């Protein structure tokens, strides 16, 4: 099972490390290895959240996620995205931006650093909306019940998540963005840039998340009537509409996953510049890490881990909330990538430990109940 799921990741790791040695020797080998670990540590919560969505999709779309999705993740977000940032911020053509990335790495890093406020605002708002929608939803299973119960009651207020997100964005634009960190330690006013980028992130979430949610709801409705529709289709000799609807639902959930992955990758791409400003090594290292995140997502789905450890999804969403806050704070202040990755790992490990304790308590309760039933039977009661 492990080899089947992670086989491609192992192969990509070997190819990536060999390519690194051929490109820049053993020093490049070490840099790619470090970047791979950095990406995995920063994106483990991404894998847990992705698994919660991917388990609703069939085997075909899971394969699409591992093939086309990984191409988008590696080449789109880890290679093309940094170049696009430079092209837009420096008002350069795509070819000029690529040439700059390969020939003048220091200048390239400067452009990316100066574009960080807009990247952080977009990604921070998108992730913040994911977190807020999660904690304001009334769920049967609650992890931190003392906190989640009152928040679930507040969640009955329409558009509360969007209102809170916009308030956070306004405060951010008037505080952190007014003294945004730039290359070389300088600080400039990026309030307007952060405001526009944050609104773009909010709109992207509402559009993509809304469409995926709409088609997911429609799919659930169709599944409830699946048996009746199949009988009617067979009698009338007409194709069932549920197949086409499932395709639309899966497509928009796939699109939602890709936007979600893009938002998660912002901190990894920016953090990679603390290690190297070589775009080739960045693409290799972050690409290898992204492949493991994809494989881990599929592994969690196939093993049913989220069903067995019910608080994992909670921990991942709290990690998302922490990452959203960190991204917004980094508009003005630099935060070490170790801190960013550690917060997510700690929250997920805590939720896993809580899930294990819950499972043991349930098993103990069931054991006592079985023992009591046997005692009643043996006594003839």
Q: Render pLDDT for 319-335 as a digit per residue (tens, 0 to 9).
A: 888 888 988 998 888 88
- H or E element at residue 34: helix 2-54
Question: Which of 87-101, 259-273, 353-367 is the least confident region?
Answer: 259-273
CA dist 190 and 195 (Å) reads 8
The phi, psi pair for 187, rounded to 5°, reads -130, 135
Q: What is the pLDDT of residue 19?
A: 92
206-230 average pLDDT score: 66
Q: What is the pLDDT of residue 81?
A: 73
pTM of the model as a whole: 0.73
Question: Which of 233-247, 314-328, 362-376 is the least confident region?
Answer: 233-247
Domain boundaries, the chain: 2-372
If we measure between CA atoms, which residue out of 352, 1, 346, 319 comes closest to residue 135? 319
CA dist 83 and 101 (Å) reads 7
CA dist 181 and 185 (Å) reads 6
Average pLDDT along the chain: 79
Q: What is the pLDDT of residue 245?
A: 41
249-260 average pLDDT score: 75
Angle at 247 between CA 243 and CA 252, to 5 degrees: 150
Q: Does the pLDDT at position 172 exceed 90?
A: yes
Q: What is the pLDDT of residue 164?
A: 95
């Amino acid at each position: 099972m492990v080899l089947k799921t992670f086989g491609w990741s192992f192969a990509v790791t070997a190819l990536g490390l060999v390519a690194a040695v051929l490109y820049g020797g053993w020093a490049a080998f070490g840099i790619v290895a470090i970047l791979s670990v950095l990406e995995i540590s920063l994106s483990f919560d991404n894998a847990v959240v992705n698994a919660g969505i991917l388990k609703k999709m069939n085997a075909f779309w899971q394969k699409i996620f591992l093939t086309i999705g990984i191409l988008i993740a590696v080449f789109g977000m880890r290679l093309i995205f940094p170049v696009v940032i430079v092209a837009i911020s420096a008002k350069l053509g795509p070819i000029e931006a690529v040439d700059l990335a390969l020939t003048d790495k220091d200048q390239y890093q400067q452009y990316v650093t100066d574009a960080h406020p807009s990247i952080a605002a977009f990604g921070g708002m998108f992730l913040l909306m994911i977190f807020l929608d999660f904690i304001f939803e009334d769920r049967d299973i609650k992890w931190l019940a003392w906190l989640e119960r009152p928040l679930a009651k507040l969640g009955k207020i329409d558009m509360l998540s969007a209102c809170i997100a916009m308030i956070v964005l306004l405060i951010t634009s008037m505080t952190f963005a007014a003294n945004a960190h730039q290359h070389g330690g300088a600080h400039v006013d990026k309030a307007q840039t952060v405001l526009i980028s944050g609104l773009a992130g909010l709109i992207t979430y509402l559009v993509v998340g809304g469409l995926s949610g709409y088609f997911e709801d429609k799919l659930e409705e169709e599944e409830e009537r699946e048996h009746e529709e199949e009988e009617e289709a067979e009698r009338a000799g007409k194709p069932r509409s549920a197949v086409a609807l499932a395709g639309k639902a899966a497509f928009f959930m796939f699109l939602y996953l890709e936007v979600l992955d893009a938002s998660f990758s912002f901190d990894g791409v920016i953090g990679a510049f603390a290690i190297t400003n070589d775009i080739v090594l960045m693409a290799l290292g972050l690409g290898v890490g992204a492949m493991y995140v994809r494989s881990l997502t599929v592994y969690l789905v196939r093993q049913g881990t989220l069903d067995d450890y019910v608080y994992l999804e909670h921990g991942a969403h709290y990690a998302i909330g922490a990452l959203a806050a960190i991204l917004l704070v980094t508009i003005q202040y630099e935060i070490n990538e170790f801190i960013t990755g550690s917060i997510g790992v700690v929250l997920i490990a805590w939720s896993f430990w809580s899930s294990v304790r819950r499972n043991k308590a349930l098993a103990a309760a069931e054991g006592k109940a079985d023992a009591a039933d046997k005692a009643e039977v043996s006594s003839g009661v």
